[in-house]
Structure 1
Amino acid sequence: MAYLGIDHPLIAVHDLDKAIETYRDLGFFIAPPGQHPWGTSTALALFRHQIIEIVSIGDETLLDGYDTGGFRFGRHVEGFLNSSEGVALTALFTEDAEEAEEQLAARGIQCTGTIDFGRDVVRADGEPDRTKTTLKVFHNDSLPRLSVFACQQHRRDLLEFPDRMTHPNGAQGFAAATIVAEDKAPVLDWFTRIHNVPATKDAEGFDAVETTNGHWRIMAPDQFEAFYRVTLSQAFLANGPRISALDVRVKNLEVVKDCASVTLSETDEHLIASDMSQLGGMALRFVPS
């Protein structure tokens, strides 16, 4: 069965180098940046079956490439960057993209299109190799920033190198992705259908949808501001509900404090990086795993 867990939100930023520097200042190991064949540049913080991916516009001449069902990945990212930084869409982990498409179709969610691509890499032993990735795009016209794609990495061994998954801050992945929505109902309907589970409440008492790899947390704007200690602009939800924070699992909060050179708010059990303007329209909450 092709399970769908939260794999990686794509955090779109104007200045990739600056964003990389900020995330490194928080203690993440960010691999050297690369580029997608549809023109977006990309930098990764890698974990086991999860990624924090930061993207920007790398080559404008490629943005119209890889059209699938009218969806153009590069233009989708560009369109949201023209409005604001932040998550443009999210990858869901699967080991069988074709089966994932069949399962979602059975739940009334039609695949927009398929993208197959690869890139040349050098393995740890110095030998050349090539990745292979299949994406099944599920664009949501009414919730465009919450569009998703099932992502099958056929050669995960060419991505999850152990030396690139060790982070100075002890990060091990993320436990939750938090969505801000003025109207929660359509968001809950979208994700309960994707994951084929009922809505529930998380440990903090907020609306949630569990996946096999972390959970979606859905908050009203005022709840988000109080919980993550931020102030949202009036235009923040101009493109509808959006992923606005990640809860990052770490081994020890003291290690995060020791290595981070970014200002953090401290609670009894968590640390919060709340300057969303530096983090690509995101807040990060560090939670002990």
Structure 2
Amino acid sequence: MMRAVDHLVMPFNTLPEACDWFERIGFVVAPEAAHPFGTGNACVFFADGRYLEPLSIVDPAAYDAAKAEGHLFVERDADVRNLADRPAISGLAFSSSDALADREQLLEEEAGEDGLVEFGRTMRLPDGGAAELSFRLAFAAIHAADAPSFFCCEARHSVRPDRSALTTHPNGATGVTGVTLTAPDPQVFRDYLSAVCGSPAENNPDGSLTFALECGRLDIVPRDVGSFAIESVTITVADLAFARKFWQGQGIACAEESDGVAVDCPNGRGRIRFIEERS
């Protein structure tokens, strides 16, 4: 079954640091929220239902306790934070309607972990209200401490918070359309990523592989130097020329690309790419 991106995890040292940067480049950032295992986030939500999750440690004691207990999410986050050369985007979560079934599928294809993560938290809303949320996560196997963490995220709550006030961004961003990974030899990860994405690989003339996703794509491209990592996330904007002027006004450095522009992330190796939304 072809999967859809739910969100991407981006480790930061502190949430205020993350919020300041995302607001500078033109995003509305949701109020901070804490997980019961010591991490917290301040998410950037999009109109297409996907989001970015800036993540930091907000309760070191709870974090250390969860790590000691073998909590998969915390273990992987800690491995990334201990790296001298940290990736800006450490994890990719796919939407799930049944994380238990997703775990079984991944295990059957020799690409899964036995462990699950289940938790609940309170989400503060822009109007001052709150919503109780609960989640179940099923994880793909991980190749190394510096490799991306892939997991399926099942939202188990019935409430659907109104996030419309959080999805109108000053830079005109509308959604997530692609994720690009790198590896010295993409073919090594062909079967693994096919199981993770729920779709077959398409070979490209440059040696890269493309995996179709629901409303998007995942690419893995060859790099002579570097490891298996998430290089960038591609975000659509309503008007690229407008977005460029916004970033110029904020003094944000942008790199021109064939189909858009890219902004380097401040929290490690990685970029956010922006392309114009196609009708």
Q: TM-score range by the shorter chain?
A: 0.7 to 0.9
Instruction: Quote the residue 1:118 is aligned against.
Output: 120
* 8 Å Cα contact 2:43/2:53 also seen in 1: yes
| Residue segments in structure 2 that go unaligned for 5+ positions in a row | none
In structure 1, distance between residues paired with 2:114 and 2:142: 9
Give the aligned CA root-mean-square deviation in angstroms: 2.9
Q: Letter of the aligned partner of 1:89 in structure 2?
A: G
Q: Letter of the aligned partner of 1:284 in structure 2?
A: I
**Deviation, structure 1 residue 4:** 2.5
- The count of residues paired between Structure 1 and Structure 2 equals 271
Q: Deviations over 1:156-203 (max 9, x none)?
A: 754551111111111122211111111212322211122332211579
Structure 1 ranges of 4+ moved more than 3 A: 64-72, 121-129, 141-144, 155-160, 201-206
In structure 2, distance between residues paired with 1:204 and 1:287: 21
**Deviation, structure 1 residue 68:** 11
**Deviation, structure 1 residue 254:** 1.6
Q: Deviations over 1:90-149 (max 9, x none)?
A: 211112212222322332333331122111245677665411111112232447622311
| Residue segments in structure 1 that go unaligned for 5+ positions in a row | 223-233
Instruction: Quote the residue 1:19 is aligned against.
Output: 18
**Deviation, structure 1 residue 67:** 6.5
Instruction: Quote the residue 1:147 is aligned against.
Output: 149
In structure 1, distance between residues paired with 2:257 and 2:149: 33
Q: 1:266 to 1:124 in 2, by over 3 A?
A: closer
Instruction: Quote the residue 1:228 is aligned against.
Output: none
In structure 2, distance between residues paired with 1:267 and 1:109: 34
Instruction: Quote the residue 1:251 is aligned against.
Output: 238
Q: Give the fraction of aligned pairs with identical amino acids, expressed as a percent.
A: 23
In structure 1, distance between residues paired with 2:67 and 2:3: 24
Task: Note the 1:200-279 alignment, pairs <5 A.
Answer: 200-201=202-203, 206-221=208-223, 237=226, 240-260=227-247, 261=250, 262-267=252-257, 269-273=259-263, 275-276=264-265, 278-279=266-267
Relative to structure 2, which stretch is displaced further, 165-174 or 198-207? 198-207
Q: Letter of the aligned partner of 2:271 in structure 1?
A: A
Q: 1:110 to 1:76 in 2, by over 3 A?
A: closer
Q: 1:37 to 1:31 in 2, by over 3 A?
A: same
* 8 Å Cα contact 2:179/2:230 also seen in 1: yes
Relative to structure 2, which stretch is displaced further, 32-41 or 197-206? 197-206
Q: 1:124 to 1:155 in 2, by over 3 A?
A: farther
What TM-score comes out, normalization by structure 2 length? Answer: 0.84
In structure 2, distance between residues paired with 1:21 and 1:203: 40
2:90 partner SS: strand
Instruction: Quote the residue 2:63 is aligned against.
Output: 63
Instruction: Quote the residue 1:85 is aligned against.
Output: 86
**Deviation, structure 1 residue 270:** 0.8
